[in-house]
Amino acid sequence: MKEGLRERTRRAVRAELAQVAIDLFARQGFDETTVEDIARAAGMTKRSFFRYFPTKEDVVFDGIDLTGENVVADIAARPADERPWECLHHVLQAWQEEIHASEQALATIRLIEATPALAGRLHQRRTEWRRRVSDALQHRPGTDLDPYTADLLTNAATAVLDAVSSQWARSDGNANRPALLDQGFNQIHVDPNPQQE
């Protein structure tokens, strides 16, 4: 399987590039670091950098699952009789606990929130993610949600996520993210049935 081998080395180069880049960003800031800098530090050309990552921003999102790739699958795996909001709560809780346990992930979050360009890119990725989550929620066995309500649920979940991040930033990174998430999900309730009137 030569395809596999090529893919493996390609992944290795990406990882190396990501490592080098995040180091530089942490040390001298995102805007102050040029793609040329990153590439040279990793022993290649600017042009080659762009053969591994489409933009300067994307290098930050490599390796760490900050956009919950597997969340979609997890939703489908939940029991069919679970209410949608509780389903989201459970799945995101598990995901957030993973993140919270990784010092590297937390450092990356800090970097992203301190850098407008990166925050923008995260939002862009989250937008695609939300579409997939909303779909998964809607087509879950045993439930019958209209698309608007599915979006409402999904967006409310990211509302909690964002509030957690803000509070976490306010506490200088000392707050317990999973606990905050839990509290947030308990304070918000989403009616899965549109008002009949």
Rounded to 5 degrees, what angle do the CA atoms 53, 54, 57 make?
Answer: 80
Between CA 156 and CA 162 the distance in angstroms is 10
CB 46 within 8 A of CB 39: yes
Positions 107 through 136 that interact with its own copies (CB under 8 A):
116, 119-121, 123-124, 127
The span from the CA of 90 to the CA of 70, in Å, is 13
Q: How far apart are CA 161 and CA 157, in angstroms?
A: 6
Q: Which is nearer to its own copies, 22 or 84 (CB)?
A: 84
Quick one: DSSP state of residue 68? -
Among 24, 112, 133, 180, binds its own copies (CB under 8 A): 180
Q: x/- contact string, 31-70, with DNA (CB under 7 A)?
A: --xxxx------xxxxxx-xxx-xxxx-------------
Binding site for its own copies (CB under 8 A): 116, 119-121, 123-124, 127, 147-149, 151-152, 155-156, 158-160, 162-163, 166-167, 170, 180, 183-184, 186-191, 194-195
Binding site for DNA (CB under 7 A): 2, 6, 10, 13, 33-36, 43-48, 50-52, 54-57
